[in-house]
Structure 1
Amino acid sequence: MPEYQQLIVDCGALPHLVNLLKRHRDGSNTRSVNSVIRRAADAITNLAHENSNIKVRVRMEGGIPPLVELLDFPDTKVQRAAAGALRTLAFKNDENKNQIVECNALPTLILMLRSEDAAIHYEAVGVIGNLVHSSPNIKKEVLAAGALQPVIGLLSSCCPESQREAALLLGQFAAADSDCKVHIVQRGAVRPLIEMLQSPDVQLREMSAFALGRLAQDSHNQAGIAFNGGLVPLLKLLDSKNGSLQHNAAFALYGLADNEDNVSDFIRVGGVQKLQDGEFIVQATKDCVAKTLKRLEEKIYGRVLNHLLYLMRVAEKTVQRRVALALAHLCSPDDQQTIFVDNNGMSFFRLELLLGLLGSSGLRQQLDGAVALYKLANKAMTLSPVDAAPPSPTPQEKDARDIEIPNIRWEVFELMMRFIYTGSVTVTLNIAQDLLRAADQYLLEGLKRLCEYAIAQDISLDNVISMYELSEAFNAISLRHSCILFILEHFDKFRPGNSHMIQRIIPEIRIYFTRELTKPNQRGVRL
């Protein structure tokens, strides 16, 4: 406990403990002397643990030089105890770090990394990790002293603690400069780090994802990590309930998405759906995932798009569907016609993949299809107040003199006449359905579109089916498509108990996309 730590130090224990550390200097190497030295080092570790004041006191009492000397002591238990004390003293204390390095501890620590004794290399890698943390100059000295390869070697250690510390240290090394990132990969770190992603040890997975995330900030490393199978295990880690582990995986995936050579593989293994459907614990992870999706979207063109379209021709059905879903979300409006509705068999086949998901028996697949189709529809030119504006009345409408209007309320008749003679009318919701019926009966297409637009503003979960039936009764195509878009947008709420309705609207969805994705935009350019 902190109060006992301070009490022991205040009573003058440190000078005596430091003197005990120096007993090796008289040449004694008996078991009893070794035991005393080891226990003195352990005592310093326990006293200085998470106590910055006592760490300083140990240095001021001259405790660091004898501890560094003990790293070379013949008794391995003493070596381990000395390394443990130095590890504690180096943690978040720059003055202690500098003195440890000045006492020439690095060569011995690096030799200890190669020890077959797991306890020794675990303590050694821990000391080095604390030395380099937030200390760029020491990091350079450690690398110059030859630490990189033995640290990489510890990734394959039988000691999980050493593996974890080595992965953390490599992540710190990778932050040094781009050359170091490349060297870490060239020296064989990627495969063992990817294997660690699948370890049952949560901390091992977290540290390996951390290291891979740092390495993935280099373009060539990005391709190498994906090529060596890093994508799938990183994506699986997004399901973790550990916030740090989840974020480390998301950051690594963000790096991998920066290389266009990885984009097709990212989509092929279902990465886009994983990013979209994940439940992310912290806001930083949510932001990182959003940036990754944006990064992927920016790369869906040229040879990346060609490769994806190739996969949709030759890959198995599951991959074809993943690609279709991803393209619906990520492709640019300029490309969506080529992908989904051009007059060739493959384009219609791609649209059918999404419609097939919508009509499947699996609820998850139905929702995926609905979300993708809605996203695709949003990129097309959809009904808007400008689109809904009626054309000017036709000459036939203006010149008509004798029109018999049976079974129509006066308010409806008045609005219909105003539209016929002025081409302009305000349609309110309370009269829109009756006016739609009259407009359909007398072939007033402009008035009909205004009515459809007014009715569409009132679509809700409670009335969407009746609205759809109304559109069918009066051949109100725009209203029908508004109902379809509403169903797709709210599919997760609408779906239960309405499978018959879903099957019913699929043919109309096909017609909708064929029309919307091929009609000219306001500048006359086809989208």
Structure 2
Amino acid sequence: MTLVSSDIERKGGVKRKLADTLALAPKEGFIQTPSPESEPLYAQARRLISTIQTALDRSPESVDKLALRRAAHALADLSKTEENVDLVVAEGGVDAVVPLLTFFRPPEGQDPPVYLGEEIEKEACFIVGLLAIKQEHQHLIAERKALPALVALLKRYLPTNGPSNPGASVVRRAADAITNLAHENVEIKSRVRAEGGIPPLVALLQSIDPKVARASAGALRTLAFKNEDNKNQIVECGALPTLIQMLRADDVGIHYEAVGVIGNLVHSTMHIKRKVLEEGALQPVIGLLSSSCNESQREAALLLGQFATTEPDYKAKIVQRGAVPPLIAMLTHHDPQLKEMAAFALGRLAQNTDNQSGIVQAGGLPPLLSLIESKLGNLQHNAAFALYGLADNDDNIAEIIKEGGVQRLQESDLIVQASKDCVQKTLKRLEDKIKGRVLNHILYSLHSTERLVQQRVATALARLTRPQDLRQVFLDHKGLDVLLGLLTDPNKDLVTQKEAAGAVVELANKAESMKPDDSAPAPPVPQIYLGPEYVNCQTLSDVTFLVEGQNFYAHRIALLASSDTFRAMFDGHYKENSAAVIPIPNIRHCIFKAMMFCIYTGEVKVTPDIAKELLQAADQYMLEGLKRQCEVAIAEALTVDNMHTVYELAEDFNAPKLAERCVLFALQNYDEIMAPLTVPGFAVLMQRMTPKLRRAIAEQLTRAKPVDVEVLEESP
């Protein structure tokens, strides 16, 4: 489930390694033959290559070794620049240099350490490695039989128990050349094995010269990458004990290469992974987490993540041996790859229940949440996977919520779809766990003296609390007061108020969905149905209204049955009871007709052009069903521009549902509403608008039907 970035995915060797090395290396006393400043590069290359080819036509004994050495050194210097590599190859550099690897062979019985051809061999290895930094040249060099020649040099200068070997520099450059030749080249990796190159490289790991040991490890690292046969032979040749000892080396270069070899050996190879652990690699790898070398730290973290999948108990062993504190420290490092690998390792370790709690207690939660907000996909994903593991432990839930984990996960801008899926699973895991003991623990945090903690807890619970617990959380424990208090606090910042706005909307929607069926508004069904043909009809009419100068004929029986206002008008001692014509001074004729149509038929089309006036008329005559229809029609046409006007309308004509809808609309469209306002302005707006919302939500939660807990918990 975790992702590992490609540039640190156990690639053996580093392209251009030799070029970097040569650029910094001393010239070891060489006197370079100067070239005329005006001589073009191609002419320099052609002249140096010609010098080497001329020497090859002679016998080794008769060659001017100093001149040949100078020419080879100058050609190596020319090849340091990547742009010159193609030029050197085009001028025949490969055909000239590869034979130099075998040109000087010590006579039978001659002691190799004192043989004078070694300096020229070293320069030839330099050049081969430099030319091999381009993949298109690797096969050409191999076809010219460079590999058997390089392997022969490795075997000729195997380490001895005596003093430092003068041939060590040849061996080192030969190993480096093999590293570059095999880099990202599957065929050449296998050819090195076929030529017998792995056994001498393994033997050279024990060289007393640290540069030789480091170079040999670098070559093995490259050969082991994604090549199962090479991995097996390296292990069979007995490399593991030495490599594990090298992990403890003070020399940064040595332990970096050693951990790289081991990492490539164990990658996707379970039996080697077990063998590495049996040989005692775990503790020295953990020790590298505190190395001064960032690359070693990174490789060690990646390796621990792989060790954690070997056997279940290794997750606990790694933590018990002190890996968690340095891994957490790495999460805040400036190097993104280091952070990525630390998160990768912690994600694997977090699959163990005890580790989950330990990582949080050691301070791992805040930096992991911060990594979710990074702009790097792999880093985001490894952090998301680690947080998913931490959320599996009941003891961590309150800490995640108090740290603002729910809000940060929901607001995270994730790059990779797998990360998005992982975060959704984490939120679902949190939601499933918020009950019983875990909920009680969180509710205790809701009463914290720290306002920030209260805010985070209330906002998270609005999104995650089970329906059957809403009343307990938001009424009994005053969670609703906390949320609405955030909206009306002018001292809160934009982000906090936006989070509170979203939480209130979510809580209101949950509360609305929980109210009992009998709390729904009664439809405008007429108590006495007369039909549309009797609207404004003189037939059997017993009351006449005067609307905008026109007579409007009606029937008392329908009006009495539909409205308490009409009942008081006709049954009481009001003058309308005996009037021949009742004037309606404040309602337009079309509005009055629409209201009467609803009274007579129970149906009316509430169009936007009449909705507001019809609401006013329905309120005046206490027609609750019609009033509710008007509220719905007006709410559907809400915009940022008309919201304030509509809210005023709801306040003036006692339309609480419309007022509540205005508040929710303001919260749902927080960004647009805030554009012309300031935070204090929004707070003032909310102070005016939220009392109705508070009452509405509290009423819905109070009247909520009991939820079948057993059914809920069994549902997927």
The answer to whether TM tops 0.5 is: yes
CA offsets per residue over residues 359-383 of structure 1, 9 Å max, x none? 2332222211111101111111269
443, 447, 450: which is aligned to 2:626?
447
The equivalent residue for 1:82 is 216
The amino acid across from 1:215 in the alignment is L
Matched, 1:131 2:265: yes
Q: CA deviation at 1:162?
A: 1.1
CA offsets per residue over residues 120-169 of structure 1, 9 Å max, x none? 11111100000111111211111122111111111122222111110000
Q: CA deviation at 1:429?
A: 2.9
Structure 2: tracts of 5 or more residues without a match: 1-133, 529-559, 571-575, 577-581, 710-716
Structure 2 CA distance for aligned equivalents of residues 245 and 479 of structure 1: 46
The equivalent residue for 1:259 is 393
CA offsets per residue over residues 171-202 of structure 1, 9 Å max, x none? 11112232221211122111111111122222
Structure 1: tracts of 5 or more residues without a match: none
Q: CA deviation at 1:496?
A: 2.7
Change in CA separation of 1:25 and 1:483 when aligned onto 2, cut-off 3 Å? closer
The equivalent residue for 2:686 is 502
Structure 1 CA distance for aligned equivalents of residues 708 and 180 of structure 2: 77
494, 502, 511: which is aligned to 1:363?
494
Q: Structure 1 residues 255-264 or 496-505, which shifts more?
A: 496-505
The equivalent residue for 1:193 is 327
Change in CA separation of 1:233 and 1:16 when aligned onto 2, cut-off 3 Å? same
Work out whether residues 155 and 162 of structure 1, in 8 Å CA contact, stay in contact via their aligned partners in 2. Answer: yes
Change in CA separation of 1:520 and 1:208 when aligned onto 2, cut-off 3 Å? closer
Work out whether residues 106 and 142 of structure 1, in 8 Å CA contact, stay in contact via their aligned partners in 2. Answer: yes
Task: Give SS of 2:177's match.
Answer: helix
Matched, 1:380 2:511: yes
The equivalent residue for 2:611 is 432
The equivalent residue for 1:406 is 584
**Percent identical:** 58
Q: Structure 1 residues 180-189 or 508-517, which shifts more?
A: 508-517
The amino acid across from 1:169 in the alignment is L
The amino acid across from 1:374 in the alignment is V
Matched, 1:482 2:661: yes
Matched, 1:351 2:480: yes
Work out whether residues 90 and 127 of structure 1, in 8 Å CA contact, stay in contact via their aligned partners in 2. Answer: yes
649, 673, 695: which is aligned to 1:511?
695
Q: CA deviation at 1:421?
A: 3.6
The equivalent residue for 1:244 is 378
The amino acid across from 1:358 in the alignment is L
Work out whether residues 325 and 368 of structure 1, in 8 Å CA contact, stay in contact via their aligned partners in 2. Answer: yes
Structure 2 CA distance for aligned equivalents of residues 369 and 63 of structure 1: 66
Q: CA deviation at 1:239?
A: 2.3
The amino acid across from 2:401 in the alignment is I
Question: What TM-score comes out, normalization by structure 1 length?
Answer: 0.93
How is 1:31-430 mapped onto 2 (pairs within 5 angstroms)? 31-342=165-476, 346-347=477-478, 350-361=479-490, 362-381=493-512, 387-390=520-523, 392-393=525-526, 396-398=560-562, 404=582, 406-407=584-585, 408-430=587-609
CA offsets per residue over residues 44-65 of structure 1, 9 Å max, x none? 1111111111111111100001
Q: CA deviation at 1:82?
A: 0.7
Work out whether residues 389 and 450 of structure 1, in 8 Å CA contact, stay in contact via their aligned partners in 2. Answer: no
CA offsets per residue over residues 314-341 of structure 1, 9 Å max, x none? 3411111111111111111211111112
The equivalent residue for 2:157 is 24
The amino acid across from 2:654 in the alignment is N
465, 470, 473: which is aligned to 2:652?
473
Q: Quick check: which has more Rg, 1 or 2?
A: 2
Higher helix share: 1
Q: CA RMSD in A?
A: 2.4
The amino acid across from 2:697 in the alignment is F
Structure 1 CA distance for aligned equivalents of residues 484 and 312 of structure 2: 46
Q: CA deviation at 1:258?
A: 1.2
Task: Give SS of 2:610's match.
Answer: helix
CA offsets per residue over residues 380-423 of structure 1, 9 Å max, x none? 12699x93452655684259685746133343333322333444
Structure 2 CA distance for aligned equivalents of residues 482 and 243 of structure 1: 39
Q: CA deviation at 1:236?
A: 1.4
Structure 2 CA distance for aligned equivalents of residues 419 and 140 of structure 1: 81
Q: Structure 1 residues 229-238 or 403-412, which shifts more?
A: 403-412
Question: What TM-score comes out, normalization by structure 2 length?
Answer: 0.69
Work out whether residues 401 and 460 of structure 2, in 8 Å CA contact, stay in contact via their aligned partners in 1. Answer: yes
Structure 1 CA distance for aligned equivalents of residues 259 and 688 of structure 2: 65
Change in CA separation of 1:206 and 1:97 when aligned onto 2, cut-off 3 Å? same
Structure 2 CA distance for aligned equivalents of residues 4 and 145 of structure 1: 39
